[in-house]
Structure 1
Amino acid sequence: MTRLIVIRHGRTEWNRVERFRGRADIDLDGVGVKQAEATAERIAEWQISTIYSSPLRRALTTARILAQHLNLEVELLPGIIDIDYGSWQGLSPEEAVTKDRALYAKWLENPHTVKFPDGESLAEVRERAALAASNVMQHSGGTIALVSHKVVCQILILSFLDLDNSHFWQVVQDVSAVNIFEIRDGIPSALLLNDTCHLKELKAS
């Protein structure tokens, strides 16, 4: 039996102002660091043996904060890097509407049919991310953690629940969200989804 903890990174400036982040290598802001520290305290007693991270700084900084609390080293897992938004990277939603109103509407209504200009589709993200997760689960028992990005976390959850990508917007992933899956005989079961109770004190302050 393997227990898989899927964690979304903490806040960045581009989360605060809402831009298509994708492969932009932006780091956590001050709030994001505090969120990562709160997440580390939350998972401290979960007996995690390995932490894997996307190579982008916002995920890697989050993972390193978790690893420091757990006395572990972070292992990079390129397959869980964020979606490539191509020419949409860095745009605000308003700028995306100006650039291509029809494609933006399609992204909101039928995200599984969208391939971003010079970028990826959700199907391509799913293929690489699910393979990466499957590989680490096959070579691990116990509890492992993956630190990744909103789109990748959403897609992994759909994959684990055997739902197609048309359900993409039905999966919510807030910053620093924690998700837990238990895998028995290759079959994942969801134990916890989009949990952010560890951020309550930060939200109240």
Structure 2
Amino acid sequence: MGELVLIRHGETAWSRTGQHAGRTDLPLTEAGEDAARALAPRLAAREFVAVYSSPLTRAARTAELAGLSGAEPDTDLIEWDYGRYEGLTAEQIQELKPGWELWRDGVDAGEDLGHVTVRVDAFLGRVRPLLDKGDVAVVAHGHLSRILTARWLGLHASAARQFGHPHPGTINMLGYEHKLPVVLGWNVP
């Protein structure tokens, strides 16, 4: 069985400051571009049967710089729509809604966790059969990657809170052990 190699896009100005960047199409910072380029040697050692990317610039550019040319854009990989929380830090949201917790409370005027789960499940349904042929690379976003990982493991999407936030420009590997889905690596630079 192949591995699902899940790559978080490189740093943006908002990922540096901790702002929620859902649908805002942000470019990579210089450090983000450097981190994406640094992934290329590690990824070049693998042969991918398919490569997918969120269509947002930060993910598509990361794929390109990491040597994953020809990544197929997939709208199911777009980050969570944070609605009114777009561009805000967790601390700023706490000021608006004391005690707020993303995985429990969701967002105002954005996408609910159930909708993100439907998108992720649809993507996994299309990708799992490809893993019989080899590795698949995915370039996506932080919260979406955590939800994808929870669903990969057969957990409720809210279990994503139990995975550390993938750092920008890192690799996370999902695969199988004794035919069971497992996490093989997390936040690998």
TM-score, structure 2 normalization: 0.89
Contact kept, 8 Å, 1:4 with 1:183, in 2: the verdict is no
Say which of 123, 134, 152 aligns to 1:132.
123
| 1:1-205 equivalent positions in 2, closer than 5 A | 1-66=1-66, 69=67, 72-101=69-98, 105-107=99-101, 111=103, 113-139=104-130, 141-172=133-164, 173-183=166-176, 187-196=180-189
CA distance in structure 1 between the aligned counterparts of 2:97 and 2:100, rounded to whole angstroms = 10
Task: Give the secondary structure class of the aligned counterpart of 1:2.
Answer: coil
- Over the residues paired in the alignment, what is the CA RMSD in angstroms? 2.0
Aligned length: 187
AA aligned to 1:146 is V
- In 1, the alpha carbon distance for the partners of 2:134 and 2:126 equals 15
| More divergent stretch after superposition (172-181 vs 56-65) | 172-181
CA distance in 1, matches of 2:159, 2:55: 27
Which segment drifts farther, 80-89 or 138-147?
A: 138-147
Deviation at 1:160, TM superposition (A): 1.4
Equivalent AA in structure 2 for residue 94 of structure 1: E
Deviations 1:15-74 (A, max 9, x none): 1111111111001100000000111222111112321000111111101112xx35x411
Q: Distance in 2 between matches of 1:127 and 1:55?
A: 18
Counting aligned pairs with the same residue, the percent is: 31
Partner letter of residue 138 of structure 1? P
Larger relative helix fraction: 1
Give, as a single letter, the amino acid of the residue that structure 2 aligns with 1:168.
A
TM-score by length of 1: 0.83
1:56 and 1:81 in contact (8 A); partners too: yes
Question: Which structure 1 residue ranges, 4+ long, deviate > 3 Å from structure 2?
Answer: 183-187
CA gap 1:183/1:30 in 2 versus in 1, 3 angstroms: same
Q: Which runs of 5+ in 2 are unaligned?
A: none
Partners of 1:63 and 1:20 lie apart in 2 by 21
